[in-house]
Amino acid sequence: MASPPGHRRASAPRQAAAAFLLALSCCCCFRGARPAPPRVPAVIVFGDSTVDTGNNNAIGTILKSNFAPYGRDMAGGPRPTGRFCNGRLPPDFISEALGLPPLVPAYLDPAYGIQDFARGVCFASAGTGLDNKTAGVLSVIPLWKEVEYFKEYQRRLRRHAGRARARRIVSDALYVVSIGTNDFLENYFLFVTGRFAEFTVAGFEDFLVAQAERFLAEIHRLGARRVTFAGLSPIGCLPLERTLNALRGGCVEEYNQVARDYNAKLLAMLRRLAASRPALKVAYINVYQNMLDLITDPSTLGLENVEEGCCATGKVEMSYLCNDKSPLTCEDAGKYFFWDSFHPTEKVNQFFAKKTLDLCYEQLF
């Protein structure tokens, strides 16, 4: 059949090229390409040292990290901000990926104001836990106080942005929660609070999960709608625990089993809570598996040492024991999983942030 007048039949090569481009675009759309970032007005953070961006600088505790060599690999040059890391933490990377500032400011940092907090704010405190007694061990901010700061933040936000916009910021924000390790390693298994005499290990797990549920119900009542909640890592594989387990060697498997049991209970609770509150979306972050994958196959991230921290000997040092006087601190933290004896390096934090974001796109956005 002849082509209509004025119409030129596409050549075979052009047709093939068009078909290829169409197939490529479909492949990109349906095989893992991430869509444009959703409109998330702020990242709001609760928890412990895994996400504390500097609140402990402002309180009377010995658990601080606002000195060298902490922050030595921050973009723009060394800057110890109070993050327990050589650089940034997961919430920072998440914020930047969502088109927000690359650093989530600590609520108690006087260098920031409500105009900054309107785009991201951190209430977390290193050393805290789901159990209020955990915070008392090192005189840090208990979780209930983090929630009080959140209420105060909302009052300030309403004055700054107006009631309607403040409500939208709070409801559309992404909430990042990482907490629980200290409840076991700094509290229950350290025998300093008496919880070991009040509860069996299983009973303490149940108690913590109930505390987590109450916390989530409260921030939901206050406006939170999209929440990521991290489970425990293999806490028996932290360098400090490996060091204390020197007689047997390796990870403390009893602690790892506790983490697995707690995580299973936490996940079951999160599913129940989400089912009973349709307006609340909660994504469980499987930190245990994410960390185990790297420990088992560190080459996937170019790591060479997953047993010791980069700072000092890497076996016991953290906070003031990790300082710039140590001649043993490694030169390239990018080869290490851990920065000090308890906390990951910036490289690993970026890996964790990506895992969290992937889950957010699957379940929350």
**Where along the chain do its domains lie?**
43-364
Q: Are 265 and 212 in contact (CB under 8 A)?
A: no
Catalytic residue (one of 52, 73, 233, 343): 343
Catalytic residue (one of 48, 52, 131, 340): 340
Residues facing residue 121 across a β-bridge? 44
pLDDT in tens, the chain (365 residues): 444 434 333 444 344 444 433 333 333 333 345 666 679 999 999 999 999 999 999 999 999 999 999 999 999 999 999 999 999 999 999 999 999 999 999 999 999 999 999 999 999 999 999 999 999 999 999 999 999 999 999 999 999 999 999 999 999 999 999 999 999 999 999 999 999 999 999 999 999 999 999 999 999 999 999 999 999 999 999 999 999 998 899 999 999 999 999 999 999 999 999 999 999 999 999 999 999 999 999 999 999 999 999 999 999 999 999 999 988 999 999 999 999 999 999 999 999 999 999 999 999 99
Overall pTM > 0.95: no
Euclidean distance between CA atoms 230 and 233, whole angstroms: 9
Structure tokens at 287: 């930190």
Neighbouring C-beta atoms of residue 270, cutoff 10 Å: 21
Cα angle: 230, vertex 232, 233; to 5 degrees? 110
Catalytic residue (one of 48, 49, 125, 131): 49
Res 38: pLDDT = 73
Q: What are phi and psi of 284, to 5 degrees?
A: -85, 125
Kindly list the distances between the CA atom of residue 279 and the CA atoms of 41, 168, 214, 221, 364, in Å, as whole numbers in the listed order.
Answer: 18, 14, 16, 11, 11
Structure tokens at 355: 């895992």
Structure tokens at 38: 């959703």
Class of domain 43-364: alpha beta
Res 209: pLDDT = 98
Euclidean distance between CA atoms 98 and 40, whole angstroms: 7
Which residue, chain included where needed, has tokens 């990506």?
Answer: 354
Which residue, chain included where needed, has tokens 């007048």?
Answer: 5
- The alpha carbon torsion through 132, 134, 137, 142 (nearest 10 deg) reads -50
Res 1: pLDDT = 41
Active site residue 49: yes
Active site residue 343: yes
Residues facing residue 283 across a β-bridge? 228
Euclidean distance between CA atoms 175 and 223, whole angstroms: 11
Q: What are phi and psi of 341, to 5 degrees?
A: -80, 5
C-alpha 186, offset from chain centre: 19
Helix axes 201-221, 253-276, angle to 10 degrees: 40
CA atoms within 13 A on the CB side of 230: 30
Active site residue 172: no
Tell me which DSSP letter residue 4 carries: P
- Which helix or strand (DSSP H or E) is residue 122 part of? strand 120-122
